[in-house]
Amino acid sequence: MRLADLDVIVTAPPAPGWGGRYWILVKVTSDTGITGWGECYASSVGPAAMEPVIRDVFERHMAGQQVWDIETMFRRVYSSGFTQRPDLTVMGAFSGLEMACWDILGKHRDCPVWALLGGKMNARVRAYSYLYPMKHHTLPAFWGDADMAAEAAVDLVDRGYTAVKFDPAGPYTMRGGHHPSRYDIETSVQFCAAVRQAVGPRADLLFGTHGQFNPGGAIRMAKAIEPYDPLWFEEPVPPDAPEAMAKVARATSIPVATGERLTTRAEFQAALTNGAAILQPALGRAGGIWEAKKISILAEAAGAQMAPHLYAGPIEWAANIQLAVSIPNLLLAETIETPFHDALIKGAIRVDDGYIPAPTAPGLGIDVDEDLARAHPYTDTGLHLEMQDEPPCYDAPQLFEGGAPGKT
């Protein structure tokens, strides 16, 4: 059974656009007619440039290959261009294509992907979500309002979630790490205090940042929020200097989490060596399902846990869940609940009282609504996520407006 055909669909989730401005979906078909789906979470170039990369990776390294030769195809993509080092864009392309291979294999064998990864370790996967605004909340005020954040947290916890994430520490910029302003620190403390007061022991607090601090600034922030006992401090420093993360990890009692922007086990090994206690691979970027399984083994040997990351569409989510079911060192997995996420996979995966039951359908366990994906083409020019050009502000509060919300 060989890989025969590829189609690429770039779909834009309707406003508010949680999960990014667009999702790059790949549809791969075997010579036996089985279709597999994947999602490429690569945002360093726009989709018009990314599609030829995906096609080149497929045609050069994968077309005509046996579907199950995952390791061979990975090594070709990783090394053949005189590279043999992590490359975010190329590995992002391969990651989605690799997902599709597993989807084909599971359908061919009539079993979920987790059954091909060692079997079921977890009958259900603990889910978490960002605090997103409720219908009556005002924007952009929500992103800096601790009381509204606490109200959103209670809503999630009342629906069964046992962990909630928020990131009130100011915008991230293309300028690299910086010291937080006093406004950023005070806002972060207010969020932690209000959410902790609201949910009590019913939920863990996940303090999210996006690599915007230098080590000294991250340590200051960590000391300020430590009294509220967050489960993690996410990506406290930029991902290009893992040794800087080690300084933060040594200086705080809060476990350090990282991984959304990392690819392949090489970068995750560096994160483990430098103090990461929780790894957050995004499977549409990290190298795919098999590479993420290897990353989980590295983490297990280091005493670290896994928390697959999601700021993308539901196909990456489906791959994350397949991995999560199969590993012993799972902590929890991110989820995004929007009508478009749900409709795109026809309700195949849902959160049930804060947990996701292990899928039972073959492959990734989803049925993709291809017509719906094509009905929402991406026509804008922005990247999936973008960093701010302006420098951080120190004389007034500043808001991080939830990633890349769609236009209203």
In this predicted structure, the answer to whether residue 402 has a pLDDT above a threshold of 80 is no
DSSP 395: S
The whole-number average pLDDT for the span 205-220 is 96
* pLDDT of 399: 82
Query: Please, what's the b/e burial string for 66-81 (b: 16 or more CB within 10 A of its CB; e: otherwise)?
Result: ebbebeebbebbbeee
Q: What is the pLDDT of residue 408?
A: 43
Q: pLDDT tens-digit profile of 186-199?
A: 999 999 999 999 99
The yes-or-no verdict on residue 405 having pLDDT over 60 is no
User: Rounded to two decimals, what is the model's pTM?
Assistant: 0.96
Q: What is the pLDDT of residues 288-331, one digit of tens each?
A: 999 999 999 999 999 999 999 999 999 999 999 999 999 999 99
What the block records as the tokens of 169 is 């520490």
Residue 154 covered by a domain = yes
Would residue 347 count as lying in a domain? yes
- Answer whether residue 283 is part of any domain: yes
Tell me, yes or no, whether 334 lies in a domain: yes
**Which residues have C-beta within 8 Å of that of residue 238, sequence separation ≥ 6?**
176, 177, 211, 212, 244
Query: What's the whole-number mean pLDDT along residues 14-37?
Result: 95
Confidence grade of residue 406 (pLDDT, cut at 50, 70, 90): very low
Query: Per the domain annotation, does 203 fall within a domain?
Result: yes
Rounded to the nearest integer, the mean pLDDT of the chain is 95
Beta partners for 178? Answer: 213
Residue 240 lies in a domain: yes
Helix orientation angle between 70-79 and 88-109, rounded to the nearest 10 degrees: 170
- Residue 407 clears pLDDT 60, i.e. is over it: no
CATH of the domain at 296: 3.20.20.120
CA distances from 318 to 13, 59, 64, 345 (A): 17, 25, 26, 9
How many domains, the chain? 1
Q: Is residue 380 part of a domain?
A: no
Q: Is the pLDDT of residue 345 over 90?
A: yes
Express each pLDDT in 41-97 by its tens digit: 977 899 999 999 999 999 999 999 999 999 999 999 999 999 999 999 999 999 999
Q: What domain range is 202 assigned to?
A: 115-363
Q: Is 322 within the bounds of a domain?
A: yes
pLDDT above 70 covers what percent of the chain?
98
User: Each residue of 173-185: pLDDT tens digit?
Assistant: 888 899 999 999 9
| Cα dihedral 382, 343, 101, 267 sign | positive
